[in-house]
Amino acid sequence: MGERFVKLMQGNEACVDAAIAAGMKFYAGYPITPSTEIAELSAEKLPRIGGRFIQMEDEIAGISAIIGASIAGTKSMTATSGPGFSLKQEGIGYAVITETPCVIVNVQRGGPSTGLPTAPAQGDIMQARWGTHGDHSIIALYPWSVREIYDATIRAFNLSEKYRTPVILLMDEVIGHMRERIELPTDEELTIINRKKPSCPPEEYKPYKVNEGDIVPEMAGFGEGYRFHVTGLTHGESGFPSSNGEVAENLIRRLVGKIEDNKDDIVEVHEYLLDDADMAVIAFGSTARSAKSAVDILRTEGYKIGMFRPITIWPLAEKQLEELSIKLKKVIVVEMNVGQYYLEVDRVAGKNTKVEKFGKVNGELITPEEIVSYIKEGNHA
Amino acid sequence: MAHHEIRLTGSGGQGLILAGIILAEAALYDGLNVVQSQSYGPEARGGASKAEVIISDSEISYPKVDKCDLMLALTQASCDKYIDTLKPKGILIADKSVDNIPKRDDITIYILPILETAQKDLGKPMVSNIVALGGIYEITKLVSRDSLEKAVLRRIPRGTEMLNKKALEEGYNLIKNHKEECYGDGC
């Protein structure tokens, strides 16, 4: 075990360092506040390790380039904020249907449109789930500290490689820009997953055939001697377009199923003081930091309250929320939007417990005092 | 020391965000928990600018500074804008150029020639932030002197080490040389 490396690090910086640790060798994007440091630091650091950075002409080009790089066998990432995330949806859908591993970071700011460029918000929760058209599932992670940004970034790459899917790393301005103490993991502590390469000779390769016991098809890199076709059109095992209904049905069911059927592996949550609680705050990202402070304050005043924090936002922590709803009298979903995650919590937990929402959309982080005041007196911000 | 919230204010370009990062890093070297944040946006370019640091010996959840224990004000505008965020019994370190010192008898106020020292004695207005850090150290001892110096040297441009060490020294000396410029119970 090497000596632990402790330093002061910014959230966006931790994202870049972790991406490189996970094996990122290519970044393409179009810088946008509050994610700009991710582009800047990728531009600085990637060439030093033999990687490439390209500033593209726009957001769509950014995601298109990383999809191309990933198909060529290179772990790739792009970062953006709300306005750019909207533009990237076309590419995200393409990565979903072509099963191309890639990581898309969205450091959220106030929206819609250009909104509040420098202020935090959590308004892209549903867009992360349903931003691109068509039936699909998606993986989205949402860390709450600089260290967790590091871990979640590595996990985002690992999940994208394992499930051959785009993974969205959601952050918000507060955690992207703040600096805090981080204890970096040693190399021995890191688990890095790489996509499975073809086990058959090139002439037998079917790019979209899932082998017995595997979750996803084996993935050859362009230029590695395996001939294959990649298309956004519905396709069968050969990878060539097909409008056959059965092929379409099988493909979409498989794409959705590979994520939804593996929730036990993908979904990660953080529970705080829930063992004896009769009430819980549900929050994520920077808002969860306020929620935890609020829980600490309320505990000193005798409230039996805890916090439930989904680190995996999508797929939904359905099983965990259901279990929670059975033992609690009330849950309060606190988020910097008008109620997005709330809708899902209410769908799952609403039949067993009371579900309330508390949100703010003025570009300011919700404070612990506001949460305390809401819980004690029902005061809205 | 349990939990200290610090707000460094002035105008954009005075190096307050760097000062905040240095202070946070010094606390980190002392083994403390720390969160540094800043306001972005129009404020950061010209008008009142601020950097915030929380130093604590326990875990820091809520990362923003609301009411602060210590406030640095390098300009009148920033002093006026943020003075109400200083807690009772808090410490205000104001630059001498702040003419209109707030009328609060529940705080301790130090009036120090930070900008003048950087400009006249050191010939480099850009080291005002480092002079201010020297002053903050001398008044609060929030971080150790070794850690502060290490943090300064790690974050400044190469080739400016001597200048910045001198700026820190001048900052330490400000308090001794201006003892009479302290008002309030905490002096």
Low-confidence ranges of chain B (pLDDT < 70): 1, 40-47
Of A118, A286, A289, nearest to B40 by CB-CB distance is A118
Residue A184 lies in a domain: yes
**What is the sign of the dihedral through the CA atoms of A206, A211, A216 and A218?**
negative
Residue B44 · residue B50 · CB < 8 Å: no
Q: Which chain A residues contact residue B28 at CB under 8 A?
A: 6-8, 181
Q: Do A42 and A177 have their domain in common?
A: yes
Q: Report the pLDDT value the prediction gives residue A197, as an integer from 0 to 100.
A: 98
Q: How confident is the model at residue A244 (pLDDT cuts 50, 70, 90)?
A: very high
User: How distant is the Cα of B28 from the closest Cα of chain A, in angstroms?
Assistant: 7
Q: How many CB atoms lie within 10 A of CB A185?
A: 18
Query: Rounded to an integer, what distance in angstroms lies between the CA atom of residue A346 and that of residue B4?
Result: 39
Q: Report the pLDDT value the prediction gives residue B42, as an integer from 0 to 100.
A: 52
Which ipTM was obtained for this model? 0.92
CATH, residue A356: 3.40.50.920
Number of domains in chain A: 2
Q: Report the pLDDT value the prediction gives residue B179, as an integer from 0 to 100.
A: 84
Q: Do A80 and A171 have their domain in common?
A: yes
Q: Do A159 and A305 have their domain in common?
A: no
CATH, residue A78: 3.40.50.970
Inter-chain touch B28–A33, beta carbons under 8 Å: no
Q: How confident is the model at residue A29 (pLDDT cuts 50, 70, 90)?
A: very high
Q: Report the pLDDT value the prediction gives residue A1, as an integer from 0 to 100.
A: 37
End-of-domain residue from the set A133, A166, A189: A189
Residue A257 lies in a domain: no
Angle between helices B128-140 and B145-155 (to 10 degrees): 160
Of the ranges A37-51, A156-170, A365-379, which one carries the lowest mean pLDDT score?
A365-379
Residue A333 lies in a domain: yes
End-of-domain residue from the set A133, A156, A189: A189
Whether A381 shows a pLDDT value over 80: the answer reads no
**Is beta strand B68-73 parallel, antiparallel or unpaired with respect to A26-29?**
unpaired
Q: How confident is the model at residue A5 (pLDDT cuts 50, 70, 90)?
A: confident
**What is the sign of the dihedral through the CA atoms of A332, A335, A336 and A340?**
negative
Whether A194 shows a pLDDT value over 80: the answer reads yes
DSSP A295: H
Inter-chain touch A289–B61, beta carbons under 8 Å: yes
Residue A201 lies in a domain: no
Q: Which chain B residues contact residue A369 at CB under 8 A?
A: 66
Sequence-distant (≥ 6) Cβ neighbours of residue A300 within 8 angstroms: none
What does each C-alpha distance from A272 to A209, A293, A316, B23 come to in angstroms? 42, 11, 19, 31
Residue A224 lies in a domain: no
User: How distant is the Cα of A263 from the closest Cα of chain B, in angstroms?
Assistant: 28
Q: Report the pLDDT value the prediction gives residue B48, as an integer from 0 to 100.
A: 76
Which residue in A has a C-alpha nearest to residue B26's C-alpha? A8
Residue A248 lies in a domain: no
Mean pLDDT of A284-311: 98
DSSP assignments along B20-65, one per residue: HHHHHHHHHHTT-EEEEEE--SGGGSSSEEEEEEEEESS---S-S-
Q: A 33-52 residues with CB below 8 A of B?
A: 33-34
User: How distant is the Cα of A181 from the closest Cα of chain B, in angstroms?
Assistant: 6
Q: Do A149 and A46 have their domain in common?
A: yes
Mean pLDDT value across chain A? 96
Query: Rounded to an integer, what distance in angstroms lies between the CA atom of residue B92 and that of residue B110?
Result: 6
Inter-chain touch B63–A179, beta carbons under 8 Å: no
End-of-domain residue from the set A189, A206, A235: A189
pLDDT digits (tens, 9 = 90+) for A90-128: 999 999 999 999 999 999 999 999 999 989 999 999 999
Of A7, A8, A365, nearest to B64 by CB-CB distance is A365
Mean pLDDT of A189-209: 97
Whether A2 shows a pLDDT value over 50: the answer reads no
Q: Do A171 and A285 have their domain in common?
A: no
Q: Report the pLDDT value the prediction gives residue B45, as an integer from 0 to 100.
A: 54
Number of domains in chain B: 1
Residue A349 lies in a domain: yes
Mean pLDDT of A22-30: 98
Domain that holds residue B86: 3-183
Amino acid letter for position B91? I
Q: Report the pLDDT value the prediction gives residue A123, as an integer from 0 to 100.
A: 98
Q: Report the pLDDT value the prediction gives residue B41, as an integer from 0 to 100.
A: 53
Residue A237 lies in a domain: no
Domain that holds residue A295: 270-377
- Quick one: what percent of chain A has pLDDT higher than 90? 96
Q: Report the pLDDT value the prediction gives residue B46, as an integer from 0 to 100.
A: 60
Q: Do A15 and A130 have their domain in common?
A: yes
DSSP assignments along A100-169, one per residue: --EEEEEEEEE-STT-EEEEE--TTHHHHHHSSSSS---EEE---SHHHHHHHHHHHHHHHHHHTSEEEE
CA angle B92, B97, B98 (to 5 degrees): 45
Q: Do A291 and A178 have their domain in common?
A: no
Residue A237: helix, strand or coil by DSSP? coil
Q: Which chain A residues contact residue B66 at CB under 8 A?
A: 367, 369
